[in-house]
Amino acid sequence: MAAGQGLVAGRALWAEWTKLRTMPATGWTLAAMVLTTAAIGALVTWDLTPPDCARSDPSCDFDLAKLSLSGVYLGQAAVIVLAALAVTTEYETAMIRTTLASCPRRFAVLAAKAVVVTSAVVGAATISVVISLLAGREFLAGNGFTTTAGYRPLSLGDGPTLRAYGGTVLYLGLVALLSLGVAFVVRHTGGTVSILFVLLYVAPIMSIAVTDPRWKEWIEKASPMTAGLSIQATLRLDAQSIAPWAGLGVLALYAVAALATALLLLHLRDA
């Protein structure tokens, strides 16, 4: 029995990998994510100079790790598109019927697609984060953000810095899972991308517009992007609305809820 289930899972993984590998959008969306994330992060650190105010003033101390990862704000858009297309293309071409006919265990189909897409995103995210780290270290040191000037260097040997960079990779992987779940529910590329853009990008704008500090804090805690990206903070953690790992946990809850809903509807609805 266990061997049979393992064979089904292996076939499902291979099928999903083949579909993702041969999908025309896969290469350019992953490349767009890497280039956008790395390029924006590099541009921000290249243009950054030490402030004139005293280093003893906390408001003048830049969170260098977070700034070098600024490109994630736009880079995640490519992740949304890739995950959406990996699902909705099958529905829009009716290929999902062939998929479910060859693998009737719908949980296996969902799990295999989640593993394959998330693995591809995590691999590309790791590359983009490493490039951001190397570029940030080079540019910031050249701009005067050195240890002799009192600044902590960008190094994975530093615990908070490692959390920021490693957590960013996890963040993008969770965005992929959230996008997959929504795509299985909506079954339409434009609708899926629109919902995810609203979910991720509108809440941070609302938090800026809201003047009531209690509502502002609540929105930041509940927003998947704002809460999730708190994992990038390395300074002034007590001033954040939510702790780094707790914030990433909020995004994980959104992803789990989306996937659970997707699995339920996958069983209840026809292909």
d(CA 208, CA 81): 26
Q: What is the CA radius of gyration of the chain?
A: 20
Tokens of 217: 């804090």
pLDDT at 11 over 80: yes
User: In which band, very low, low, confident or very high, does the pLDDT at 52 lie, cut at 50, 70 and 90?
Assistant: low
d(CA 255, CA 110): 13
pLDDT at 166 over 50: yes
d(CA 130, CA 136): 10
The domain locations on the chain are: 2-268
Tokens of 55: 């280093």
Ranges of beta strands (E only) in the chain are: none
Provide the 8-state DSSP code for 154: -
The position carrying tokens 């969902």 is 110
The structure's pTM equals 0.92
- Tell me how crowded residue 84 is: count the other CB atoms within 10 A of its CB: 27
**In the chain, pLDDT over 70 holds for what percent of residues?**
93
